[in-house]
Each structure stands twice: as structure tokens, then as C-alpha cells.
Amino acid sequence: MRRSDLGEFEEIVLLAVAALSTNAYTLTIAEDLERETGNVVTTGAVHAAMQRLEQKGYLRSAWGEATAERGGRRKRMYSVTALGGRILEESRAVRNRFWERILPAVRMEWN
């Protein structure tokens, strides 16, 4: 695996953007992360991670249409780039290889 410089929080933010598909913006990402992790996630932390991910080329963003629910303000929508998708696949493959190696031994210890 090539070095991706992808931290754990950045990885789950990138995964949330991919999972949310066309509805990925700061608030929905933070809400999704809170729901999935059970931890409080601030929009500021999400926004900072998304800026880093965009600088690395793993995300792209574009302004969405203004909505009445936001008082006529637009929101920045995010999507995963081809590079970001490859990085996620590489990360998943590495984790899966480790899980395949440790599960038999760990199951015995955890039971």
C-alpha cells in the first residue's frame, strides 16, 4: 500500500461522504458520524477534515442550490474523487488482511 496520509477521523469522514452520496454536506456528515460512532462530532471538526481531504485530492466540493430551509443560503456539497475511492479501497484491503489474520486467535481470547 502506498502512503496515503489518511488519519482515522479523515477515513471515517471520507466513508461518510461516500455513504451519503448526493446528500453529503458538513451537517449531514457530522450527524452520520455521530449516529455511527456514538461520539459527539462537531461540524468544525468535520469541516477541517474535509478541507484536508480536498487538499489531498480525495474529495471535491461544489456549491449546491440555495434552499428555503437554510434561509436562502447555499451549502457546499462533497463527493469522493477517484483517488479518494482508491485510497478507501486500499485502506479496506489492509484492514481486511489484518482481520483475516487475527480473528481465529482473537475469538478464542474474547470468548
Asked if residue 2 belongs to a domain, the reply is no
Residue 3 lies in a domain: no
Sign of CA dihedral 105, 93, 38, 42: positive
pLDDT digits (tens, 9 = 90+) for 8-40: 999 999 999 999 998 999 999 999 999 999 999
Cβ 38 vs Cβ 2: under 8 Å: no
Residue 56 counted as domain residue: yes
Return d(Cα 42, Cα 85) in angstroms, integer. Answer: 24
Rounded CA-CA distance 13/32 in Å is 9
Q: What residue numbers bound the domain in which 41 lies?
A: 8-110
SS3 10: helix
Diameter over CA atoms, the chain: 57
Closest CA to 1 of 90, 101, 105, 92: 90
CATH of the domain at 25: 1.10.10.10
Q: How many domains does the chain have?
A: 1
- pTM here is 0.84
Mean pLDDT score, 70-82: 86
* Alpha-carbon span 85 to 89, nearest angstrom: 6
